[in-house]
């Protein structure tokens, strides 16, 4: 079955994701499908909640090859970086987001089932932080002032003829 991309304000995007206890064929297949969906939409990252799964799984590729991590966590942060971010679940929205310039992330590689550690800076670091935010129910819209959040929400309602 093909995955569906969940769009804001769907409630699944706000749920805190659960730890993955066992990486089995279902998780591997989900990661592959998430990568396919991410590439189809010209994205650089995708988190399981964006496809309706409240589990701690992310995929990303900023041109260095695909990564699929279960239970990712940031173990070190350093510096400050401002990058304009978009999100497949918030179409048409870009937000200037302040994040750490450098992060060290660890998690379980879904395909090798080995613990991996990544040192990332710049866009790569932003991508990790963005996807891990999704696992905690945090979206880029949360980095906007309240009145811009309302404006975006109203524009979505207008586009869907709900107003």
pLDDT score at 1 = 66
Chain segment 113-133, per-residue pLDDT in tens: 999 999 999 999 999 999 999
**Residue at 4 is within a domain:** no
pLDDT score at 146 = 93
pLDDT score at 162 = 52
**Would you say 127 and 9 are in contact if contact means Cβ atoms under 8 Å apart?**
no
Nearest CA to 57 out of 116, 126, 132 is that of 132
Interatomic CA distance for residues 101 and 99, integer angstroms: 6
**Residue at 56 is within a domain:** yes
**Residue at 1 is within a domain:** no
**Would you say 9 and 153 are in contact if contact means Cβ atoms under 8 Å apart?**
yes
Q: Which residue has the higher pLDDT, 24 or 152?
A: 24
Sign of the Cα pseudo-torsion (108, 3, 127, 160, in order): negative
**Residue at 87 is within a domain:** yes
Residue-number span of the structural domain to which 31 is assigned: 11-159
**Would you say 125 and 100 are in contact if contact means Cβ atoms under 8 Å apart?**
yes
The catalytic position among 53, 73, 115, 131 is 131
CATH code of 151's domain:
3.90.45.10
Interatomic CA distance for residues 11 and 147, integer angstroms: 21
Chain segment 45-73, per-residue pLDDT in tens: 999 999 999 999 999 999 999 999 999 99
pTM of the model: 0.94
Chain segment 70-113, per-residue pLDDT in tens: 999 999 999 999 999 999 999 999 999 999 999 999 999 999 99
Interatomic CA distance for residues 36 and 107, integer angstroms: 21
**Does the pLDDT at position 163 exceed 90?**
no
**Residue at 137 is within a domain:** yes
Interstrand relation of 81-86 and 67-78 (parallel, antiparallel or unpaired)? unpaired
Average pLDDT value for residue range 17-34: 98
Average pLDDT value for residue range 8-31: 97
131 catalytic? Reply is yes
> How many structural domains is the chain composed of?
1
**Residue at 107 is within a domain:** yes
pLDDT score at 161 = 63
Interatomic CA distance for residues 107 and 24, integer angstroms: 15
């Amino acid at each position: 079955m093909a995955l569906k991309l969940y769009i804001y304000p769907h409630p699944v995007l706000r749920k805190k994701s659960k730890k993955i206890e066992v990486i089995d064929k279902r998780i591997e297949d989900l990661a592959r499908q998430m990568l396919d969906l991410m590439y189809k939409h010209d994205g650089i990252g995708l988190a399981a909640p964006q496809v309706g799964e409240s589990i701690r799984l992310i995929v990303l590729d900023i041109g260095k090859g695909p990564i699929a991590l279960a239970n990712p966590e940031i173990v070190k942060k350093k510096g400050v970086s401002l990058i304009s971010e978009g999100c497949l679940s918030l179409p048409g929205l870009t937000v200037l987001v302040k994040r750490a310039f450098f992060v060290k992330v660890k998690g379980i590689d879904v395909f090798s089932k080995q613990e991996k550690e990544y040192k990332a800076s710049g866009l790569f670091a932003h991508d990790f932080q963005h996807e891990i935010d999704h696992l905690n129910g945090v979206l880029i819209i949360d980095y906007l002032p309240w009145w811009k959040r309302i404006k975006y929400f109203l524009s979505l309602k207008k586009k869907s003829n709900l107003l």
